[in-house]
Amino acid sequence: MFRATVLTLFPEMFPGPLGLSLAGDALSRGVWTLEPRQIREHGLGRHRAVDDTPAGGGPGMVMRADVLAAAIDAAAPNDDPRPRLLMSPRGAPLTQARARALAQGPGAIILCARFEGVDERIIDARALEEISIGDFVLSGGEIAALALIDACVRLIPGVMGEEASGVEESFEAGLLEYPHYTRPRDFEGRDIPDVLLSGDHARIAKWRQEQALALTRARRPDLLAPQTGDASRRR
Ligand code: SAH
């Protein structure tokens, strides 16, 4: 069973959108679980402080390693088999392959930072894997965690309506997905491509494959380039 534990200063952001639609239905059926935990419960002093000024000076505040360690240790004992993830713009970009691997595992412990981020020492001390959802900066890790969990949960068997709909999608075959059409047949003078109305399933499959390849070549040639180690994936 996929169990997500989220460490955050804003537990009220969860389940949020994950309480609706496919993920929400699966959550209420007990197909996966979500446990948001308030980091501030491990804060220091009367004000339950979780952050402090950066060593060396500079703007903003840094989340304290001792507070985060206490929060992580309370949420997950040492023998918890789940990977510990830190949402971070410096992390490895999230991929469909990583989401699928996580979905097949026991879940994840996900740390959402705020302010300037975390004291560097917590990353090594608690073996955190940094994951980014893209080359832009959010104000906190919560939206990134929601995106990560959503990508995983929809891949858990029994969550998506049609089992097959997970395997033909963008990235699953290393390509972007082919274009879709539905009724009406004529939309403002624009037709559905004839081949899709031909009933010839072999021709349709071939057309879709060609479209996927052409789209990928035009928009994401990096996906087609031979994978020569990490550098080519890191973009
Ligand atoms: N000073 C940091 C940014 C801090 S943003 C830097 O320049 O790298 C505050 C927090 O939001 C981060 O610590 C992280 O937990 C989260 N966050 C921001 N952008 C993110 C992204 N693209 N992917 C995942 N998490 C992100």
The CB of 132 under 6 Å from ligand 1? The reply is yes
136 marked as binding residue: yes
Quick: pLDDT tens for 87-96. 999 999 999 9
Task: Write the CATH number of the domain with boundaries 168-234.
Answer: 1.10.1270.20
Q: Is the pLDDT of residue 111 over 70?
A: yes
**Average pLDDT rounded to a whole number, residues 162-187:** 87
Transcribe the chain into DSSP letters: -EEEEEEES-GGGSSGGGGSHHHHHHHHTTSEEEEEEEGGGG-BTTTTB-EEPPTT--SS-EE-HHHHHHHHHHHS-TT--S-EEEEEEEEEEP-HHHHHHHHTTTEEEEEPP-TT-B-THHHHHTTPEEEESSSS--SSSHHHHHHHHHHHHTTSTTTSSSGGGGTSSTTTTSSPPPP---S-SEETTEEPPGGGGS--HHHHHHHHHHHHHHHHHHH-HHHHS---SHHHH--
Q: Is the pLDDT of residue 232 over 50?
A: no
Tell which one of 87, 122, 130 to mutate to probe ligand 1, the residue whose CB is within 8 A of the most ligand atoms.
87
Closest CA to 120 of 72, 65, 42: 65
For the chain, the structural domain boundaries read 2-153, 168-234
pTM, 2 dp? 0.94
| Res. 166 pLDDT band, cuts 50 70 90 | low
**Average pLDDT rounded to a whole number, residues 132-149:** 98
Closest CA to 216 of 175, 183, 185: 175
The fraction of the chain above a pLDDT of 70, given in percent, is: 94
Tell which one of 8, 88, 133 to mutate to probe ligand 1, the residue whose CB is within 8 A of the most ligand atoms.
88
The CB of 88 under 6 Å from ligand 1? The reply is yes
Quick: pLDDT tens for 113-140. 999 999 999 999 999 999 999 999 999 9
Q: Which of 26-40, 67-81, 113-127, 148-162 has the lowest mean pLDDT?
A: 148-162
Quick: pLDDT tens for 184-228. 999 999 999 999 999 999 999 999 999 999 999 999 999 998 766
How far apart are the C-alpha atoms of 177 and 215, rounded to whole Å?
8
Which top CATH class is 2-153?
alpha beta
